[in-house]
Amino acid sequence: MLWTASHAFYPDYVMHIGVHPAWPMPAADHPPHYLLCVLEHGAAWLRGADGVQHMISAPAVLLLGEQVQPAVVRAVDLRGRCVAFDPCVINDALRLDGLPQSPEGLSGTVRQDFFLIEPFARRTAHPCALALPPESARRLLESLDRLQDALQGQDSPLWPCRARSYLIELLFMLRLLRDEQAASPASGPQPLVPAAPARDDLSAALLILNCRYAEDWTLERLSRQCCSNRTSLNAYIRQRTGMTMRGYLSSLRMTMAANLLRDTELPVSEILSRVGYDSASHFSRAFRAHHGVSPADYRRTPA
């Protein structure tokens, strides 16, 4: 069942929100709904209705409107949860039949509440994907856990009100994050360069690097993992990213290191280990080459 049926306090009541432990949601006949898909682990190539492939890696979210159903072309260690909801849970006037794509013509609280669901309402050929910085991922997963607990536990007559408030909290957090990433595109997820359909033995290469960037990868090891040869694999990665395998791996590590420096208080010694370095001096040189400042100076710089 897509929605949550009451098993306490309200016989026959069905709340039009559901949390499902599957990513993405399996195809089935469901009433119209929006989907908030949280990728907690792994990476995947997604193909939109326009045929263009995009890669998404954890932690991240997809905001899927009623007509947007991307196909998972290939995935590595994919795990997550999906929140299905009807926007009328937010405001009874926000019904999917006849819902506009923009707030023009709306007023009052309906216009204010539409702000939360606008990313879902816009009709596009590809999904809205948001990368989650570490602190944002932590807060979002905490809110998702609270929503899931409220829907499953139903331990108070207030459970529908609480569940609705947690959904609003999630949507508000993601709307602000979307606007922030739209204002600074370099900080958000970027679709990779469109290319001809990838060979099956190569399409997993970037997914593996995105999931396991802290490991000691060489072109030889990755080519064995993908049952390919080094020349073909490096050419594929360069075609998709504009970088060599080592350059792309370094970029992944430096991006994650910057996120951890900015959004957490972890010591640099722990951060460098988490992104695949065992030498502080080597990490510092690589970070400075990529970001133009030392890790310590980057952490002190206001966001």
Task: Tell me how many degrees the CA angle 280-286-291 measures, rounded to the nearest 5.
Answer: 120
pLDDT digits (tens, 9 = 90+) for 113-123: 999 999 898 87
| Residue pLDDT, tens place only, 78-98 | 999 999 999 999 999 998 888
Average pLDDT over residues 202-223: 91
| Helix ranges restricted to H, the chain | 108-121, 134-153, 159-183, 200-211, 219-225, 230-241, 245-263, 268-274, 280-291, 295-300
Residue 160, pLDDT > 60, answer yes
Separation between Cα atoms, residue 205 and residue 223, nearest integer Å: 8
What integer pLDDT is reported at residue 91 of this predicted model?
A: 92
Q: What is the CA radius of gyration of the chain?
A: 21
The domains located in the chain, with CATH, are: 4-187 (2.60.120.280), 217-300 (1.10.10.60)
Q: Closest Cα partner for 69 from 113, 99, 32, 112?
A: 32
- Whole-number pLDDT of residue 195: 45
Residue 192 pLDDT: 43
Provide the pLDDT for residue 13.
96
Alpha-helical (H) ranges within 21-156 are 108-121, 134-153
Assign residue 55 a region (left: φ > 0; alpha: ψ between -120 and 50; beta: otherwise).
beta
* Distance from C-alpha of 29 to C-alpha of 245, rounded to nearest angstrom: 42
pLDDT tens track for 271-287? 999 999 999 999 999 99
The whole-number pLDDT of residue 272 equals 96
> What is the pLDDT, as a whole number, of residue 126?
72
Residue 126, number of CB atoms within 10 A of its CB? 18
